[in-house]
Structure 1
Amino acid sequence: MNKKIIATLLTSVCLMGTASAIYETAPQTVQAAVKGKVQVKGNKKVRLYTSKGKKSKYYAVAKRTYSYSAQKYLKIGKKKHLAYKIGNNSHWLLAKNAKKVKQTAPVANYQVAAFKMPSGYTRASLLEAYKGKPSAKFIQACMQGMQENDFSRVSSGESKNDQRMINPAALSSSDQKELAEFSLRLINSARSQLGLKPWIYSSGVEQLADSIAQEYAQNGHSIKDGDHYVAGIVRACKKHGLELNDNYVEDMAGFTINKKTMSMAEMKRNVYFGLKQMIFGFAGAGEAERGNKNLYREWEHAGDLFNTQGSRHDGDYNYYGFSISKISNIYSMHYISVPSFVVNSSEYNKHFKI
């Protein structure tokens, strides 16, 4: 299983080597923040004022509700009057002519993460792509998959609980297991649509994933290197009783971010996008480039995730765990899976416990 790296950079721009990706956010239009809303009192239109307390030629409509972006006291004549700034041209509505409107919290757009596999994405077509000969129809299916599977573009996460803040470099055991089960659910949602048996969560593989993450962190390796840290992976495997001499267990993605904490929703978007890139062979810089057909060119990860590599073990299933390592502001996500034939082999399994 020769596995290459896709670097998934969701938050900032960082050069990560030839096998990686760069993500740039789209330019945003800056507007004045809305502080609240006010409604005009009475049944008549009321005069608006300039920021200097002079009468404007404009009026506010009776009983209409306006959003305001600031409030301050205007000096009108010898007196000061509280006023609200409405519109984009410094129109000020006097507080005596308005009442604040009580606002309700917006309803969050929660969405349960899953993968919907396009009809043109089959194991037979994946195998050809894995061998380096993707068909035009398969590439089109992958582009469709990148477009339609949009959880990585949903900011609110799956539930209110996803709004809590976490430290990806120091996850609690419950948060790490949540991310492992989240990523496994995504993998299995795709596998089931291809007629494959589900992968199985394993506490033993989770411990192996932790050891692999420690190898990366302690020896200064990350996704930025452009390749897997094979020596560390082999040491971790042998420590846990797997007699393997190369990387047969790790798929990896990553992101950079200049802060120590993020919401669980943001972390799940990172995990989701990493898997989405692997499944659909996308080697681009981020969501903004998903329409570029030339960036669909790497399906070795997908061959592993779907046990489709042209070997006698095609169609098998794996045992799974997940971990994260950090070097500076670079986070590497380790999607670790041990093939069932390895677990069941006395040649490879010396004392590994699933």
Structure 2
Amino acid sequence: MKNTKLLLKNVFTIILFVIGFVVATSINSTSVKAESTSITLPSGYTAKRIAQVDNNKISAKNKKALINASVKGVKENQFVGDDADKNVMVDVTKLSSSQKLEINRFALRLINSARSQLNKKPWVLNKSAMDFADKVAKQYHDNGRSVWDSDHYVAGITRAAVASGLKNAGQVYEDESGLPITSEFSGSTRSMYALKRQVYFNIKQMLFGGYYGTESQADNTAYYTEWEHAGDLLGCRSLKGYDAPTKYFGMSFSDLPNDHSKISVHFMGVAKRYIKNTKKFNIHANL
């Protein structure tokens, strides 16, 4: 599967690429803070329409309905954070183990909240998948690649996959995104509050039409152009039911060696059929 990147344009962004309830036990989370833990899919946003648009089999009427639902999704889903996170400063490329686990769990709660609304099984946070995501981030950084390029860094993803006990299957693993470049923080440092707010917006963009405008431009339907990322995150890409029922999930961040402000976000999903060596990729190392 090849994912098309999002080109996001706003006053803080050069290029930005780039789911309502899920119980904490679905990812074995010990606690949930008073913050956004879900993204609600509006009426008209259906698995059938996503599969149809991703396979160029959608009618003009259904395409319009999906766009209108996506507009509602962007407008109605707004981040609510924990004020305590404003005092926690992090370097997103050097997160501690606990910080890395926290942001991975946060992202997965959002994804799984949307999946549950379409009666999809939750994705599973997995240590081996997180390690795979870290290897992908290192490949991007070491080779000066990022979401600002025209396509995924397939060679690096492949090397990371093989090293992680996965099949050499090309670009079937990654949904790539990017954190906004803002004047609020410098380089790869920001508060945990800001990081969660930005990841929330990234996931919202991927779900709702690859939206590439600002929050204030959400009514502009021209900014909703692709649902391939939504199809992957929600398991709605295939018209014949070939989507994996669930995936092992891990997320990481990378910057560029010569520009620490450009942060790529690597959402890695591993379907069981792509696992080659279970000694390297431990399907039981779920978190």
Could you tell me the TM-score, scaled by structure 1's length? Answer: 0.67
Do the aligned partners of residues 21 and 208 (structure 1) sit closer, same or farther apart at CA in structure 2, a change above 3 Å counting? closer
- Residues 149-168 of structure 1 deviation map (CA, whole Å, 9 limit, x = unaligned): 011xx5xx234245311111
Q: Where has structure 1 moved over 3 Å in runs of 4 or more?
A: 7-11, 348-351
- Structure exhibiting the larger radius of gyration computed from Cα positions: 1
Do the aligned partners of residues 223 and 21 (structure 1) sit closer, same or farther apart at CA in structure 2, a change above 3 Å counting? closer
**How far has the Cα of 1:285 moved from its partner?**
3.0
**How far has the Cα of 1:313 moved from its partner?**
2.5
Match of 2:143 in 1: 219
- Residues 292-340 of structure 1 deviation map (CA, whole Å, 9 limit, x = unaligned): 1111111110110011111543361110001000111200011111013
For residue 147 of structure 1, the aligned residue among 69, 75, 85 is 75
Native 8 Å contact 1:126 1:308 kept in 2: yes
SS, match of residue 321 in structure 1: strand
**Which structure 1 segments of 5+ residues have no match?**
23-109
- Equivalent-residue separation in structure 2 for 1:131 and 1:184 (angstroms): 26
- Pairing of 1:38-49 with structure 2 (within 5 A): none
1:188 matches 2:116: no
- Equivalent-residue separation in structure 1 for 2:164 and 2:71 (angstroms): 39
- Residues 41-72 of structure 1 deviation map (CA, whole Å, 9 limit, x = unaligned): xxxxxxxxxxxxxxxxxxxxxxxxxxxxxxxx
**How far has the Cα of 1:11 moved from its partner?**
7.4
- Residues 248-297 of structure 1 deviation map (CA, whole Å, 9 limit, x = unaligned): 11001102246132110100011111100110113323223211111111
For residue 353 of structure 1, the aligned residue among 270, 282, 287 is 282
Match of 1:83 in 2: none
**Which structure 2 segments of 5+ residues have no match?**
19-33
- Equivalent-residue separation in structure 1 for 2:10 and 2:282 (angstroms): 35
Native 8 Å contact 2:17 2:178 kept in 1: no
Q: Which has the higher helix share?
A: 2
- Equivalent-residue separation in structure 2 for 1:11 and 1:179 (angstroms): 25
Native 8 Å contact 2:17 2:147 kept in 1: no
- Segment drifting more, 226-235 vs 3-12: 3-12
**How far has the Cα of 1:183 moved from its partner?**
0.3
Q: Which amino acid aligns with 1:141?
A: A
Do the aligned partners of residues 141 and 249 (structure 1) sit closer, same or farther apart at CA in structure 2, a change above 3 Å counting? same
**How far has the Cα of 1:349 moved from its partner?**
6.5
RCO higher in 1 or 2 (8 Å CA, sep ≥ 6)? 2
1:242 matches 2:182: no
Native 8 Å contact 1:10 1:270 kept in 2: no
Match of 2:102 in 1: 178
Match of 1:340 in 2: 272
Match of 1:263 in 2: 191
- Residues 74-118 of structure 1 deviation map (CA, whole Å, 9 limit, x = unaligned): xxxxxxxxxxxxxxxxxxxxxxxxxxxxxxxxxxxx643310111
- Equivalent-residue separation in structure 2 for 1:229 and 1:190 (angstroms): 28
- Pairing of 1:322-333 with structure 2 (within 5 A): 322-327=251-256, 328=259, 329-333=261-265
Do the aligned partners of residues 172 and 187 (structure 1) sit closer, same or farther apart at CA in structure 2, a change above 3 Å counting? same
Equivalent pairs counted in the alignment come to 256
Q: Which amino acid aligns with 1:262?
A: R
- Pairing of 1:117-136 with structure 2 (within 5 A): 117-132=41-56, 133=58, 135-136=63-64
**How far has the Cα of 1:192 moved from its partner?**
0.4
Identity of aligned residues (%): 36
Do the aligned partners of residues 204 and 9 (structure 1) sit closer, same or farther apart at CA in structure 2, a change above 3 Å counting? farther
Match of 2:66 in 1: 138
**How far has the Cα of 1:129 moved from its partner?**
1.8
1:280 matches 2:208: yes
SS, match of residue 180 in structure 1: helix
SS, match of residue 224 in structure 1: coil
- Equivalent-residue separation in structure 1 for 2:7 and 2:87 (angstroms): 25
Match of 2:218 in 1: 290
Native 8 Å contact 2:124 2:249 kept in 1: yes
- Equivalent-residue separation in structure 1 for 2:109 and 2:178 (angstroms): 19
SS, match of residue 334 in structure 1: strand
